[in-house]
């Protein structure tokens, strides 16, 4: 019976029919999606912290408004994604518990510090640029609620990327000190950004099955290569140098070759030992604890309204 159901399921995937919450699905498909979508949601929420650090220090009102809007969008992305994950049978409270206890992962990139204003430019340009590369194919992922959430997320990400690139353009056209600040931000964010796509394909345990189920449409290395290929010209336009001496166009492959990623550093960061892991997790746990009274008040208000509505029905 199970085998037959699996065949029907794979057949739907092969025919590009979306899987919906009430459809039969293999337990491993459900678990893989829950893992990926909840990690994605956590990344959006933790991803608000490095940029939130600069909202009060934005150099002018226009920059402040744009950054504030971007960080709010990230909260929204987290909420759509938690909702998509909830359709797979785990509550938001359970997912948050996994984040706060350190059991759940979130993207490595958000464990690096934001030291200068130029980091707001570099994050928008590189981190959101990498996110777009990874997430546009997720608009066609096989699970309906995830695919639909990603359509809106991607529209907003493209505004974020331009917001960052425009900061970089302004800085690189500015004084020598501003240009140096932009180069320094690129130096610090380049390698973490290309690591964000995840381990190389030969070291990515989840990829083969996720590609078969069309959760992923491209491998980690394919997406990383596409990102490097489009970003080199953008760096040239800014007059900045990507910090990789092995970066060079390979005529035969029709792609840029690039240097070796420091995977030791990546796995250390993923394991919780990056420069800001403890700080990021503490900020989320504190926000959860300090917000307890808001959740309690909202629940009490909802109960009161429901009781009132029930009384009105009985009286009628």
In the bound state with ligand BYC, the residue whose beta carbon lies nearer, of 74 and 244, is: 74
Residue ranges that bind ligand BYC, judged by CB under 6 A: 35-36, 39-40, 43-44, 47, 74, 105, 107-108, 127-128, 131, 134, 196-199, 204-207, 210, 216, 220, 270
CB nearer to ligand BYC: pick between 178 and 209: 209
Nearest by Cα to 77 from 156, 132, 162, 145: 156
Nearer residue to ligand BYC within complex by CB, 39 or 172: 39
* Distance of closest approach, residue 68 Cβ to ligand BYC, in angstroms: 14
Nearer of residues 18 and 105 to ligand BYC, judged by Cβ? 105
Nearest-approach distance from CB 105 to ligand BYC, in angstroms: 5
Instruction: Give the position of tokens 């359709």.
Output: 87
Closest distance of CB 81 from ligand BYC, Å: 9
By C-beta, is 59 or 272 nearer to ligand BYC?
272
Of 265, 291, 272, 102, the residue nearest 194 (C-alpha): 265
C-beta of 127: minimal distance to ligand BYC in Å? 5
Residue 297 contacts by C-beta under 8 Å, 6 or more apart in sequence? none
Q: How far is the CB of 78 from ligand BYC (least distance, A)?
A: 9
Min dist. Cβ of residue 49 to ligand BYC (A): 10
Q: Is 112 left (phi over 0), alpha (psi -120 to 50) or beta?
A: beta
Minimum distance between the CB of residue 135 and ligand BYC, rounded to whole angstroms? 6
Cβ closer to ligand BYC: 165 or 197? 197
**Of residues 217, 224, 37, 69, the one with CA closest to residue 156:** 69
Judged by beta carbon, residue 31 or residue 282, the one nearer ligand BYC is: 31
């Amino acid at each position: 019976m199970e085998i037959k159901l699996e065949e029907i399921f794979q057949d739907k995937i092969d025919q590009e029919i979306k899987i919906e919450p009430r459809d039969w699905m293999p337990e491993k498909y459900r678990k893989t999606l829950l893992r990926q979508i909840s990690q994605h949601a956590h990344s959006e929420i933790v991803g608000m912290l490095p940029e939130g650090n600069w909202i009060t220090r934005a150099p002018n009102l226009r920059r402040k408004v744009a950054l504030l809007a971007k960080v709010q969008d990230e909260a929204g992305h987290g909420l759509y994604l938690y909702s998509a994950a909830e359709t797979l049978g785990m509550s938001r409270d359970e997912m948050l518990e996994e984040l706060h206890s350190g059991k759940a992962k979130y993207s490595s990139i958000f464990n690096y510090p934001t030291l200068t204003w130029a980091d707001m430019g570099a994050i928008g340009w590189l981190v959101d640029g990498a996110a777009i590369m990874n997430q546009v194919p997720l608009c066609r992922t096989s699970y309906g609620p995830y695919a639909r959430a990603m359509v809106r997320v991607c529209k907003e990400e493209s505004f974020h990327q331009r917001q960052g690139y425009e900061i970089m353009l302004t800085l690189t056209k500015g004084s020598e000190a501003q240009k140096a600040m932009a180069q320094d931000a690129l130096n610090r964010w380049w390698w973490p950004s290309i690591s964000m796509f995840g381990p190389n394909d030969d070291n990515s345990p989840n990829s083969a099955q996720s590609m078969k189920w069309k959760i992923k449409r491209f491998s980690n290395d394919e997406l990383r290569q596409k990102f490097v290929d489009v970003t080199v010209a953008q760096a040239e336009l800014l007059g900045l140098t990507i910090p990789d001496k092995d970066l060079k166009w390979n005529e035969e492959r029709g792609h840029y070759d690039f240097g070796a990623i420091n995977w030791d550093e990546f796995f250390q960061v993923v394991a919780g030992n990056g420069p800001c892991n403890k700080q990021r997790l503490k900020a989320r746990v504190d926000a959860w604890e300090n917000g307890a009274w808001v959740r309690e008040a909202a629940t009490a208000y909802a109960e009161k309204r429901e009781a009132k509505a029930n009384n009105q029905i009985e009286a009628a």
